[in-house]
Amino acid sequence: MITGPDLQSLVSQIADEMRARPDRGRVADYIPELARVDPAYFGMAVALPDGTVAAAGDADTPFSIQSISKVFTLTLALGIAGDRLWKRVGREPSGSAFNSIVQLESEKGVPRNPFINAGAIAVTDVILSGHKPREALGEILRFMRFLSDDQGVAIDKAVAESEQRTGFRNMALANYMKSFGVIENPVDYTLGVYFHHCAIAMSCRQLALAGRFLAQSGRHPATGLSVIQAERARRINAIMLTCGHYDGSGEFAYRVGLPGKSGVGGGILAVVPGQASIAVWSPGLDAAGNSHLGRIALEAFAKRSGVSIF
């Protein structure tokens, strides 16, 4: 892995190239508040274990992390339930859209993996158990602030309310899972926490810093504290590789060769185990709902820096 000025110049070069490209994908419009985001943004940040960050473009502009939050809620839920979590959600790629309902009928309401919407709602339900929605949300936010070493991380209330007003598919998924007993709390509570953690706003710099524990065998580099066991960090990375980009996960693994998690806000968090945590943001999406230029930027980074898990 390259470091220092060479790393900074690579990140700056990729940001300049991405900003100049005309093909930007399509901004998500099923959440009205996200449809207003300018597709011209591009940001990138690479965080190293010692906390240094190489950043370029709009790397300090907060954006809606959406499904990237599911990496962190999975981490928290594994801390709460341990391997019992896997009774409520599977670990297989779905091969379907992130908001699909079809597999739930034949699979007794147990979602394929923790990153599709149904799976992430089930994970949120585990975090909520025994708490009030406000407390569960506070826990998630405190975790994000701790991991990014930044107390400024916050929820974008307008995005949360926008999705709460229009999230009929997620309501259907949650109610359907409830009918199988996979959701234990009142559906409104679970969905309220889910919509709000998806609406956390972070910059590429904050997100890259927050992802370092996945690159560092579960340790939070700034404090040396263990966030999660090394084995669990490896396994979360494995699920990011196989399921982090929904029906585009195979293509992402083929082109980028790193564990990654996307969100419909246009962000992607990628992990170089043992070396770095990378966040990119470009709001326009491809057909599978993953950042179009975000993936291309990560592919360029992996190729030119030589990083890959393979």
Residue positions forming the annotated binding site for substrate:
67, 117, 163, 170, 194, 246, 264
Is 124 among the residues that bind ligand DON (CB under 6 A)? Answer: no
Q: Determine the Cα–Cα distance for residues 6 and 22; give it in Å rounded to an integer.
A: 27
The residue among 232 and 295 lying less far from ligand DON, judged by its C-beta, is 295
Q: Which of 251, 199, 268, 266 is nearest to 28 (CA)?
A: 266
Is 305 among the residues that bind ligand DON (CB under 6 A)? Answer: no
Which one of the listed residues 67, 148, 291, 305 is annotated catalytic? 67
Judge contact between 265 and 283, C-beta under 8 A. Answer: yes
Task: Identify the DSSP state of 200.
Answer: E
Is 170 among the residues that bind ligand DON (CB under 6 A)? Answer: yes
Q: Determine the Cα–Cα distance for residues 214 and 142; give it in Å rounded to an integer.
A: 18
Work out which of 163, 214, 236, 271 binds ligand DON, going by CB under 6 A: 163
HSE-up of 68 (CA within 13 Å, CB side)?
A: 33
Cβ 98 to ligand DON, closest distance in Å? 4
Place of tokens 């826990």: 139
Is 67 noted as a catalytic residue in this protein?
A: yes
Helix (H, G, I), strand (E, B) or coil at 50: coil
Which one of the listed residues 71, 264, 272, 280 is annotated catalytic? 264
Contacts of 272 (CB under 8 A, 6+ apart): 1, 215, 258, 278, 307, 309
Query: Around Cβ 195, how many Cβ atoms within 10 Å?
Result: 22
Is 94 among the residues that bind ligand DON (CB under 6 A)? Answer: no
Is 246 noted as a catalytic residue in this protein?
A: yes
Work out which of 90, 289, 294, 297 binds ligand DON, going by CB under 6 A: 289
Cβ 192 to ligand DON, closest distance in Å? 13
Q: Which of 155, 68, 65 is nearest to 115 (CA)?
A: 68
Is 160 among the residues that bind ligand DON (CB under 6 A)? Answer: no
Cβ 174 to ligand DON, closest distance in Å? 10
Q: With helix as H, strand as E and coil as C, how does 78-126 read?
A: HHHHHHHHHHCCCCCCCCCCCCCCHHHHHCCCCCCCCCCHHHHHHHHHH
Is 109 among the residues that bind ligand DON (CB under 6 A)? Answer: no
Is 117 among the residues that bind ligand DON (CB under 6 A)? Answer: yes
Is 96 among the residues that bind ligand DON (CB under 6 A)? Answer: no
The residue among 66 and 305 lying less far from ligand DON, judged by its C-beta, is 66
Which one of the listed residues 70, 126, 148, 280 is annotated catalytic? 70
Give the residue numbers marked as catalytic.
Answer: 67, 70, 194, 246, 264
Residue ranges binding ligand DON (CB under 6 A): 66-67, 98-99, 117, 163, 170, 198, 262-264, 289-290
